[in-house]
Structure 1
Amino acid sequence: MKNKHIVSVTVSLLVVLLFTACSTSKVAAPDGSGNVNLKGTWTVQDVSFEGISKNGFKVTVFDDAPYSCFIGSQWNLIASGNGSYTIPSSTGCAAGERTIFWGVQTENGTPVFLFKKLPPGAKPQKITDGFKMTVKSVTANSMVLQDDIYFEGKTIYINYHFSR
């Protein structure tokens, strides 16, 4: 099942322009305590669901692996927009590092984490598909990114709980 929010080619071209012109690595903290810089290393501690029980629910996320493979994954976010995530071998999944290009933008007043996977040797400008997740919450040491997926006639949400 493909994520419903894979960015279309036309919108992707706009996203590429926005990535290079307006993206940032900082997000306003919901408690008003200032901006939180997302650059650094984050680890997915848990994955939770809204709108469906995760018992027996299997879905491939980010055109890569089942959501359960991302528990324990490390995301290295570099201020330049370059980065990677690594799926650990302990998950029994296709372990290894995936190179990404990432940024944060505001859509309708809400911060959104955007990324696209980069095959070896690819330039971000040449990749037309990407992924976006709403920044549901963020502090200096924790973050929840929410992925929305259209499934069986309704929208469900996958929440990725990160810590530093």
Structure 2
Amino acid sequence: MKNLFRIPFIVALFAFVVCSCSTPKNAATSTPSASRGKFTGTWTITAISYDGLIENAVQNVFDQAPPSAFRGSTWQLTNSGNGIYTLTNGASQTIFWSVNNTDPNGQMFQFKKIYQGDKAKNVTAGYQLYVVSNDGNHMTLKSPVTVGNSTAYIIYDFSKTK
């Protein structure tokens, strides 16, 4: 008689454990590195514009050069997250990049500079740009800039070359 009550209890316990371990259908399944497919390849910055700023108001972006120096730069982004950008003057920078789909303000393209001997996992500083659009051939990213008590943006338009 004891076994008769024990078996339904074990089955119910097993069902409870299985149900509590499964992912709900409406749960967010995106990860910070998800959706790299539309970003991989070689991109060229074709235009730079400003929202809430006048041109030349910002003298240095990405701790490297003025925004205008990035016009015509090429960005090579691999699916593994490794990348490099090269300015038209020949200066290049190795980066590690990802896409963050969990930011409440929308999708973010983020990267950090990698120098000789660095491991990406040990580099904590980096840059985040909002993804305005990306159809796989054209991409628009905007970088927030604090101006007084408000936020302005530098807008980068990319075209895919490879």
Q: TM-score range by the shorter chain?
A: 0.7 to 0.9
1:134 aligns with 2:135: no
TM-superposed deviation, 1:109: 6.2
Establish whether residue 96 from structure 1 lines up as the match of residue 91 from structure 2. Answer: yes
Higher-RCO chain (CA-CA 8 Å, sequence separation at least 6): 1
Aligned equivalents of 1:51, 1:110: Cα separation in 2: 20
> Which residues of structure 1 form unaligned runs of 5+?
1-20, 27-35, 90-94
Q: Identity across aligned pairs (percent)? A: 38
Structure with higher strand content: 1
Shift of 1:153: 3.0
Counterpart amino acid of residue 153 in structure 2: Y
Cα displacement (A) at 1:24:
2.7
The runs of 5 or more residues in structure 2 that have no matched partner are 1-30
Q: Deviations over 1:138-162 (max 9, x none)?
A: 1121000010010233211000000
User: Which TM-score applies when normalising by structure 2?
Assistant: 0.74
SS of match in other structure, 1:122: coil
The equivalences for 1:120-159 within 5 A come to: 120-159=116-155
Contact 2:96/2:120 (CA < 8 Å) preserved in 1?
yes
Asked if structure 2 preserves the Cα contact closer than 8 Å seen for 1:147 and 1:158, the reply is yes
Q: How many Å separate the matches in 2 of 1:134 and 1:149?
A: 12
Name the structure 2 match of 1:14.
Answer: none
Q: Which amino acid aligns with 2:120?
A: P
1:24 and 2:25 correspond: no
Classify the secondary structure of the residue corresponding to 1:110.
Answer: coil
Q: Does 1:45 align with 2:46?
A: yes
Secondary structure, counterpart of 2:107 in structure 1 = strand
Secondary structure class of the residue paired with 1:37: coil
Deviation at 1:108, TM superposition (A): 1.6
RMSD, aligned α-carbons:
1.6
Q: Which residue of 1 aligns with 2:66?
A: 66
For residues 124 and 25 of structure 1, the distance between their equivalents in structure 2, rounded to whole angstroms, comes to 19
